[in-house]
Chains A and B, each alone.
Chain A
């Protein structure tokens, strides 16, 4: 019998009315990779924030190596050998790797002896775990994958025996994910304990030896990974059985509804982000646009939807030119012509989070009949319309008068989708439709997009989730450094091939 290195007993945590963690019990064995899986809002991050000392539990005990400890701040956790790599890295961009790691642990006023020792220790750590980091490079020069390694190194240097990783793969390419998993395995071999928080089933199956499932603030199951499978885990997460594979009919592509010729777009800093891009999307077809975040997808979507000015090139809707560098239709005019847009970042662009739900459900269509008559909003019609589409799209809770920021991410996304799809657009531009959305809602959203396609809409799907692009698209193009670097029919194409294109290797 192995004694657990970390043991949580009856942990409770509430935020006001929300019971984020209910009587959580968890045992993590030394030298294992332990997965914690659950939908967004299941309470995984809250639980780990308690373990890392960022939040204090309302009740319950935490034991490390059998000894009860009191965690009042991250400092206490570090002393007890707990380290955490956050979803968003906590690094000073213009410092070097070395400076970032010793930040807060400088130990002396004028750098000298301690710094030399730190350098040596860090080099040893890098060698042991094959981290391959140059201590003198500046953070802003490093790729996302390397920044993550710096975070890992930082925790190790501070003596972490237990390393918590919060959704570590969200921002990585498939190749970077492979590298990360290699590092995590070698950490395990050296006797470190790793806690992996994720909502991706495939990572759990690949990497972990034990897995705990959370749902709505409760721990709903612990199991050895070898004794379970994806379907079973998904069912535990959602509380009902989930369709992991989409039922999709054969593509029946019609005439070209939307096309882009030699499009070049600059960002706000006057940097060319989209370089001479050509695209064609047919009726009844989903074109997937894959790529690592920041390779021009955002600017492309903004240009196509009329938000951003085109530098050169043309955009055609149903064969008619709608935009070039001289004349362009604004988002409103494009909407009238049957182009709908689900933006990548729902809170920054798709919604006014301080608005009530019904106000967001007419956003962009608020000046049309029957919502607005001679500039006066028709409250009754808006509310009845809102109720209808909230029911149809299963937005929960079904209260049009609730402020939008009180809805969960998935339901906010459904508000946007229901608004845009309800207009029955001919062309639909969708950016990251399921980012931060839980499994149950992902299934629903994907089904809606397929329905739209089957009704003859032309859909451009921009997503950093390769699985999503692969399962939805009929054709896939890959964008790298502002250019389209590859186009594939979605048959027999693998995520490896796409990954190489995304990384700009091929």
Chain B
């Protein structure tokens, strides 16, 4: 925890009140964010207490190869306190998109944070890092992304990877990946890393991760590949409201058919929900209004590794590289089976020709024996 004299700033709660929110708003926020985190009711008090008493955790938010959709998602999070307090007003010492400062001033502010809070600040990374050509494909303030990341990661307490870019490389890491876009966990090995994949991740999920860090001073429970279990332990498929249509075998065949109107399962038009671990089905987007499947479009697995390379978006194909564009495993399988069957037929004919002598002998022996049968 950061002590008061070190920061000379107010607690989260004080800042929230200063912003004009009532205590009631604050408690609402705490209750809802705790629910999202999957905490039990009795923990709400703990979260509130933590936000009332703890001081700001300095956050450096780096942007590399990305589109800023993660930041956009975050500031559109359900509850205004998320954007107003957690992100905008208190915590961010450095973020290209939202900070007021610019140029040398901004860089100096970042430097100050890194020096003053060595080992205490949280490093958030949005975007992948191009490792090709010595990192020259992404430069900020005259320095390569690789350079900036290594420097910022050095003194970080923990690293949060926002979005699929930082977690998996996303579209810029898709085949053939010309810039060698690389996810953060493949570059930084010696720091605790939280991966929050998605293109973008759900705003509440991002807020939840931050609040957990702030309230409890440690990372949320992570799964084997570093994703917070509270949000990534279930597949979109398992929380999808169209799941009964899947089990009943009622599928949309094309986007303009009767079944699509009826809201059947989008599995056959390429929905990747069954392979995608995310909370979209449960938390939804834009203040719980909807999520892709509810809007009639299949999930395309944006929070999964290499989702761009895993077959076409609107078909259920098992795509394979190195066998031509969008060739599916089934096409190759059929061709291979055909080739094998042809080969076997040729072998059968060749065998009968090559072993002519032996066959003739055994056949005639068999016929002789037939004639010689007693009864």
A and B together in one complex: no
| Chain A residues proximal to chain B, CB less than 8 Å | none
Binding site for A on B (CB under 8 A): none
